Amino acid sequence: MANTTFSGPVISDNGFVGTLTGNVTGNVTATTVSATGNVTADSGTAPTAGGMLSFAMSSTANLGIYVGSGAPSISAAQGSLYLRTDGTTTNDRIYVRGSSTWIAITTAS
């Protein structure tokens, strides 16, 4: 198949094979995504109080990296990370989800 350039939205029920170059906007579903440069997720959405999912990983439900203001109150899978945008001390900037609660990680400074 020859290279094709589209100037508007494109949807494929069976997926695409090949390489995407330039900026890709919208949802991307793929088995593997490789990127050179920056990968941006939810850049147009302000972090919410208590947390929001910013980056999902694996097929484990709710496993990912969450961001938000205030202490985390969002439900997440064990092993998830929470980055607090308004953390001000060494014990309220980053959290990891334990088996049933969020656990603050103490940072050096």
Q: Tens digit of pLDDT for each residue in 41-63?
A: 767 788 899 999 888 888 899 99
- pLDDT confidence of residue 37: 75
- Res. 15: pLDDT tops 80: no
- Strand boundaries in 1-109, DSSP class E: 52-56, 64-68, 81-84, 94-97, 102-105
Q: Is the pTM of this model over 0.85?
A: no
Q: Could you give phi then psi for residue 101, rounded to 5 degrees?
A: -140, 165
